[in-house]
Structure 1
Amino acid sequence: MDVDAYLDRLGVARPAAADLATLRHLQERHLATVPFENLSIHLGEHVVLAEDALFDKIVRRRRGGFCYELNGLFAALLRELGYRASLHAAQVFHADGTPGPPLDHAAIVVTLDEPWLVDVGFGRFSRYPLRLSGVDAQPDPDGEFLLLDAPHGDVDVLLDGKPQYRLERRPRPLSDFVPMAWWQSTSPESHFTRSLTCSRPTSQGRVTLSGDKLIETVDGVRNEVVLPTEAAIRTAYRVYFGISLNRLPTPPGESPLTPGALQPDTAVQ
């Protein structure tokens, strides 16, 4: 891995020590600069869980990704920097409070003097590492987190009292997530095939582009606008997320190999 290129992508100088302060800074910068997005699914691109492919996509092509991609590559960077970082599977909770299937999500555990939960691939989540062995509520700019013991030695992660996911204690290689990543990116039952999103936190809230809808939350106030043309949508991807696209992702429900529902622009804007 070209560590310096990855750090440059994050806007971070090479750290002097693999400590908690540096880990906090790296996680915050990763979330701020590398968006959570599922564009590949709607562009007809294969999701390849291999370090070189992820590096090419996220660092060289300055794209984002979803959990397996973002946390898979970030864990590799952390190991290159001297951290003890491992991937762990998680079950994402449904709205009714029941956990989803195994390997539904991939998160990172970094072991320093104690284990810390690190996650740059879950959309809205903690800006900073969470103490995995903590029993008290942990405040974060994005909410209050609570980590509770769960059956079989797992850990339930709650945000503002709402269960987010159930984390396994045992580590897994990135290759373990390949079958579920394939299902997530191809099944009509997958949330990712049924939705289109590109999102990242900001200093005052969050910005999300979902199809032609640009949603900005600033100090708790949500504002949504519909972008009228393909040019406006491409500009939003570039300005808000640093992503330059030759063509737009196809709206959910349509084949990414056929033209989307939006009409081409009649003038350059």
Structure 2
Amino acid sequence: MDEQQAAAYLGRIGAERPERPDAAGLRALQSAHLAAVPFENLAVGLGEPVVLEEEALLAKIVGRRRGGFCYELNGAFAGLLRALGYRVDLLAARTFGADGRPGPPFDHMALRVELDEPWLVDVGFGRFGHHPLRLAARGDQHDPGGVFRVTPVEGRPAVPGTPEVLDVLMDGEPQYRLDPRPYALTDFVPTCWWQTTSPQSHFTRSSTCSRLTADGRITLSGTRLIRTGPDGARTERQLSEAEALAAYRVHFGITLTRLPVGAPPH
């Protein structure tokens, strides 16, 4: 990513360029990204390809002012952070299901940013932390999004010289299991393809578009407009097709001519 592209990306998220790559700048960048760029899987229902290449991600998120899901959002954000002088690794994660078991490898992508200590950065998990989390800390970490804890996997003995496999918990519930090894963007392509094509993937079953707001979160799930307050209180309203198309434009800055498949008007 060159300087012009980085400047355009900063403009997209409404953020200033940090004077130096430090924790305060990282915190501001993550918060700005979450508020400006929605987590969304609309490409699946619209029949659009998901291409895990930096130029394609920039064209979508910055050029077309769209969002994306984890591979796209964290993949693009990693490029911006590197352009700003941060040291970034792409990490693979296994998302925990309702049964409490971790899913397949590469189910999710998160970022590790190395400063004076390692930080977990994630702008692609939907409801999650607003700010980076300390990867080396083992106590509670309080965040506007909840109380987080990073902990070594129970029952797995530590191997000297080998980074620990870590579970990330939010409000006491496991969210995902982090593989500490760094990967390349291309390593996520096979699972990304599965996520966007398999009938078993929840991304092919329904559409979602969600972002942080000043007073909580706003989500369009199919044609249900959901507002979630900072206390977790939710209000929902069923929209018509025309109202849903308008909601994409008003709340997310996304102009569509039709609803994604899997988002029926009623």
What TM-score bracket applies, with the shorter chain setting the length? over 0.9
The residue that corresponds to 2:186 in the other structure is 175
Q: Does 1:26 align with 2:29?
A: yes
Query: SS at the partner of 1:208?
Result: strand
Q: State whether residues 239 and 265 of structure 2, in contact with CA within 8 Å, keep that contact through their aligned partners in structure 1.
A: no
Identify the match of residue 11 of structure 1 among 9, 14, 17. 14
The residue that corresponds to 1:186 in the other structure is 197
Tell me how far apart the structure 1 counterparts of residues 102 and 91 of structure 2 sit (CA, whole Å): 16
Identify the match of residue 119 of structure 2 among 116, 121, 131. 116
Tell me how far apart the structure 2 counterparts of residues 101 and 195 of structure 1 sit (CA, whole Å): 20
The residue that corresponds to 2:227 in the other structure is 216
Q: State whether residues 129 and 143 of structure 2, in contact with CA within 8 Å, keep that contact through their aligned partners in structure 1.
A: yes
Normalising by structure 2, report the TM-score. Answer: 0.93
Query: SS at the partner of 1:244?
Result: coil
The residue that corresponds to 2:161 in the other structure is none
Tell me how far apart the structure 2 counterparts of residues 206 and 24 of structure 1 sit (CA, whole Å): 19
The residue that corresponds to 1:248 in the other structure is 259
Cα displacement (A) at 1:246: 2.1
The residue that corresponds to 1:106 in the other structure is 109
Q: Does 1:195 align with 2:192?
A: no
Cα displacement (A) at 1:219: 3.6
Letter matched to residue 179 of structure 1: P
Identify the match of residue 163 of structure 1 among 155, 167, 174. 174
Q: Does 1:40 align with 2:43?
A: yes
Letter matched to residue 138 of structure 2: V
Cα displacement (A) at 1:89: 0.1
With 215-224 and 76-85 compared, the bigger mean Cα shift is at 215-224
Tell me how far apart the structure 2 counterparts of residues 219 and 128 of structure 1 sit (CA, whole Å): 15
Q: Does 1:79 align with 2:90?
A: no
Unaligned runs of 5+ in 2: 159-163
The residue that corresponds to 1:140 in the other structure is 143
Question: Structure 1 residues 114, 219: closer, same or farther in 2, change over 3 A?
Answer: closer
Question: Structure 1 residues 233, 127: closer, same or farther in 2, change over 3 A?
Answer: same
Normalising by structure 1, report the TM-score. Answer: 0.92
Cα displacement (A) at 1:162: 0.3
Letter matched to residue 172 of structure 1: Y
Letter matched to residue 62 of structure 1: R
Tell me how far apart the structure 2 counterparts of residues 242 and 67 of structure 1 sit (CA, whole Å): 19
Tell me how far apart the structure 1 counterparts of residues 221 and 19 of structure 2 sit (CA, whole Å): 39
Question: Structure 1 residues 118, 219: closer, same or farther in 2, change over 3 A?
Answer: closer
Following superposition, which runs of at least 4 residues in structure 1 exceed 6 angstroms of deviation? Answer: none
Query: SS at the partner of 2:182?
Result: coil
> Cα RMSD (Å) of the superposition?
1.2
Tell me how far apart the structure 2 counterparts of residues 115 and 262 of structure 1 sit (CA, whole Å): 45
Letter matched to residue 72 of structure 1: G
Tell me how far apart the structure 2 counterparts of residues 236 and 262 of structure 1 sit (CA, whole Å): 13
Q: Does 1:226 align with 2:257?
A: no
Cα displacement (A) at 1:96: 1.4
Q: State whether residues 120 and 135 of structure 2, in contact with CA within 8 Å, keep that contact through their aligned partners in structure 1.
A: yes
Tell me how far apart the structure 1 counterparts of residues 149 and 43 of structure 2 sit (CA, whole Å): 33
Deviations 1:19-57 (A, max 9, x none): 000000000000000000000000000110000000000
Identity of aligned residues (%): 60
